[in-house]
Amino acid sequence: MTQLQPDANGLFGHFGGRFVAETLMPLILELQGEYDAAKEDNAFQRDLAYFQGDYVGRPSPLYFAERLTEHFGGAKIYLKREELNHTGAHKINNCIGQVLLAKRMGKKRIIAETGAGMHGVATATVAARFGLPCVIYMGTTDIERQQPNVFRMKLLGAEVIPVTSGTGTLKDAMNEALRDWVTNVDDTFYIIGTVAGPHPYPAMVRDFQAVIGHETRAQLHEKEGRLPDSLVACIGGGSNAMGLFHPFLNDASVKMIGVEAGGKGVESGLHAASLNGGAPGVLHGNRTYLLQNEDGQIIDAHSISAGLDYPGIGPEHAWLHEQGRVEYVSATDDEALEAFQICCRQEGIIPALESAHALAEVAKRAPDLPRDHLMVVNLSGRGDKDMMSVAHHLGERFQ
Amino acid sequence: MSASEEITMQRTSRLDQCFAALKANNRPALVSYLTAGDPNAETSKRLLQGLPAAGVDIIELGMPFSDPMADGPAIQKAALRALENGQTQAKTLEMVRSFREQNSTTPIVLMGYYNPIYRYGVERFLADAASAGVDGLIVVDLPPEHDEELCQPAAQHGIDFIRLATPTTDAKRLPKVLSNTSGFIYYVSVAGVTGVSAPTPERLESAVGQLREHTQLPIAVGFGIRTAGQAATIGRFSDAVVVGSALVDCIEHASTPDEVVERVHSLASELAESVRGCRKGS
């Protein structure tokens, strides 16, 4: 049996924990208490189900990708269509849950970090829906390459604060959000966007995302009458992957593959593959695998996809990696771009560059698998936000 | 008593001796914070060597980290300057070792984040720190819930583990924060990051008073104390006043190494004079 819950100190094996400044400890303990109570509260669960349905648009379809299946000529491929959610990615599953918790706790202000901007957009969306002022921290490098999402957040009423410290990417945005939280301890709720950060965030975000796996299980059972043989998802911090994987962890026959961003190749040093190219360390409240140098200084991640551009990974993934329960591989920028185009042309679906990393692994794996092998791929987001960077990489110029 | 036990006893007492002497003189300590290797190794070494003569009683030496979540802009920039100029954990320990060759009384407390220590290896770090002459550690992201990581092993090496108490630490949680704390307790004067907002003396005095009901340890106050005037006000009711960002700002604003050293040491002297006189005539 795989350990499904962290221990009292928030540890999965020796990963996770609560490595935060004393100022934040009481807040984190309070959050944990409130979340534990909310889990048992029928009214909270009813509200959550209502918003997941009528606002987010769940359940998302489990779609048989007939043309992709033919294209690769092996495994039968299903796509879990998280890109059809409101705001265009899986991120909102978690944001709806956390904003309901914020309301329950009487918090008056929402903050979040964002990399590609999808979590920022989802957070700004739920903050607008619940009438809460919202501040989004975003690195200046990411603001530059994700202009449309910056504008979306502003339209939704959020204040986007550019983060110039460090290297101006997701990790620095997270540092700055933590600095805000430590300064505004009385009224602020921090919506972390992935299965990382201090306990209870990794388990809480996972629980809100596990709706992906629970639906997949029921939908595949209806279509095929059985469990999937393999699950494939991309990993930055790892929330869409954990959401899909977690409900299947104790089904030994289900193979799981997490795909990290290989950037220019793990051997090049320019990548975001924390498990395949990092080492254990402590950052942002948890112990996990990190990209770092010999002296414990954090190294910048590199990926074509801003959403995977993070030098760490959720602690539960680090633990599942060491347990060998999930296989973690990587796909390069070029492999992801190739898979991105295949998906566009074969299925008429423009995937997010993040999700294209999962599709790149499908391209490597599916052709050699038998036709009765059921493979579910998490199509975690849509690619509209990536038009400019894909065009740039394909040599297309706009007037 | 074995030789190693003797060394341990001597080491644990450096902070205690310092506070005992200050108490006898009825004055608080001036604690200075500088980041090791800021702006570069050579200047940083000169800064460190000159602090006792400038009147600093206890030295906090920052171990630079790429992601200093609890620090404001001044100390963030200091860490980046140090790292860009090649500062490492080993070099920081070497700075302490070389300081100790000339000074055996001024306590040195290393302050920073856990990852560079974790990566160095906890046991190896503690052994090297103890032999270099480090007296205490302040590690911002290690709350008492993780005492087995570093706090308890540090005690085995005779190194004090100094914990932060904050405005959010309530009476229920305080005993947990105080347990295993030694050397002194560091009261964080405001909820926030280092060097940004100033605390109000009235609220601080009452917070320090409440803390005293729970501990015999000396109480240092820091975060946001920038001027000699503030230091004197807070020194009247606390056992130590910590100044960091204001000193670090001197480094940023100076244009030559000599100017860096001159500015930092003259601010330290000004602060020291103010702290030394703050209880006289009252």
Chain B residues in contact with A25 by the CB 8 A cut-off are: 143, 145, 168-169, 173
pLDDT in the model for residue B237? 96
Is residue A261 within a helix (H) or strand (E), and if so which, with residue range?
Answer: strand A255-263
Nearest-Cα distance to chain B for A340, in Å, is 33
Which residues are CB-neighbours of B85 under 8 A, at least 6 positions away? B37, B39, B40, B41
Chain A residues in contact with B110 by the CB 8 A cut-off are: none
Is residue A194 exposed (0-12), middle (13-18) or buried (19+ Cβ within 10 Å)? buried
Whether B64 contacts B87, CB under 8 Å = yes
**Catalytic residue (one of B57, B71, B128, B239):** B71
Say yes or no to pLDDT of B4 above 60: no
Mean pLDDT of chain B: 93
What is the mean predicted confidence (pLDDT) over B56-77? Answer: 96
| Subunit contact B118:A292, Cβ cutoff 8 A | no
| Subunit contact A281:B70, Cβ cutoff 8 A | no
Closest partner residue to A21 (CB to CB) among B116, B140, B196 is B140
Distance CA B219, CA A212 (A): 51
Which DSSP state fits A158? P
Distance CA A362, CA A346 (A): 14
Distance CA B95, CA B97 (A): 5
Closest partner residue to A165 (CB to CB) among B76, B141, B177 is B76
| Tokens 């990852």 -> residue | B115
pLDDT in the model for residue B5? 47
Cα end-to-end distance, chain A, whole Å = 57
A167 touches chain B (CB under 8 A): no
Mean pLDDT by 10 residues, chain A (399 residues): 86 97 95 97 98 98 98 98 97 98 98 94 98 97 88 97 88 95 94 97 98 98 98 97 98 98 95 96 98 96 89 97 97 98 98 97 98 98 91 85
> Which DSSP string do the residues of chain B spell out, in sequence order?
--HHHHHHHHHHHHHHHHHHHHHHTT-PEEEEEEETTSS-HHHHHHHHHHHHHHT-SEEEEE---S--TT--HHHHHHHHHHHHTT--HHHHHHHHHHHHTT-SSS-EEEEE-HHHHHHH-HHHHHHHHHHHT--EEEETT--GGGTTTTHHHHHHTT-EEPPEE-TT--TTTHHHHHTT--S-EEEE-SSS-TTSSPPPHHHHHHHHHHHHTT--S-EEEESS--SHHHHHHHHTTSSEEEE-HHHHHHHHH-SSHHHHHHHHHHHHHHHHHHHHHTTTT-
- Give alpha helix (H) positions in chain A: 25-39, 42-50, 66-72, 91-104, 118-129, 140-145, 147-155, 170-183, 201-209, 211-224, 239-245, 274-277, 315-323, 333-347, 353-365, 387-393
pLDDT in the model for residue A399? 60
Which residues are CB-neighbours of A153 under 8 A, at least 6 positions away? A114, A117, A120, A121, A124, A136, A160
Is residue A334 exposed (0-12), middle (13-18) or buried (19+ Cβ within 10 Å)? middle
Query: Which chain B residue has the Cα nearest residue A294?
Result: B119
Chain B residues in contact with A281 by the CB 8 A cut-off are: 115, 118-119
Four-point Cα dihedral A175, B175, B182, B230, nearest 10:
60
Other residues' Cβ atoms within 10 Å of the Cβ of residue A341: 15
Query: Which chain B residue has the Cα nearest residue A299?
Result: B66
B120-179 residue pLDDT tens: 999 999 999 999 999 999 999 999 999 999 999 999 999 999 999 999 999 899 999 999
pLDDT in the model for residue B9? 46
φ, ψ dihedrals at A170, nearest 5°: -55, -40
Which residues are CB-neighbours of B103 under 8 A, at least 6 positions away? B49, B52
Distance CA A129, CA A96 (A): 10
pLDDT in the model for residue B197? 80
Closest partner residue to A17 (CB to CB) among B146, B166, B196 is B146
Q: Nearest Cα to A197, choosing from A98, A129, A294, A295?
A: A98
- Helix, strand, or coil here: A321? helix
Sign of CA dihedral A224, A225, A231, A233: positive
pLDDT in the model for residue A372? 98
Nearest-Cα distance to chain A for B8, in Å, is 27
Closest partner residue to A26 (CB to CB) among B115, B117, B173 is B173
pTM, rounded to two decimals: 0.95
Nearest-Cα distance to chain B for A184, in Å, is 7
Query: Which chain A residue has the Cα nearest residue B192?
Result: A183
Task: Give yes or no: B71 in active site.
Answer: yes
Q: Nearest Cα to B245, choosing from B71, B83, B40, B70?
A: B71
| Subunit contact B66:A179, Cβ cutoff 8 A | no
Structure tokens of A317? 């993934």
Whether A130 contacts A105, CB under 8 Å = no
pLDDT in the model for residue A389? 87
pLDDT in the model for residue B204? 93
Nearest-Cα distance to chain A for B279, in Å, is 30
Whether A128 contacts A156, CB under 8 Å = yes
- Helix, strand, or coil here: A58? coil
Residue to mutate among A181, A185, A282, A310, with most B CBs inside 10 A, is A282
Nearest-Cα distance to chain B for A335, in Å, is 31
B37-48 residue pLDDT tens: 999 999 999 999
A74 touches chain B (CB under 8 A): no
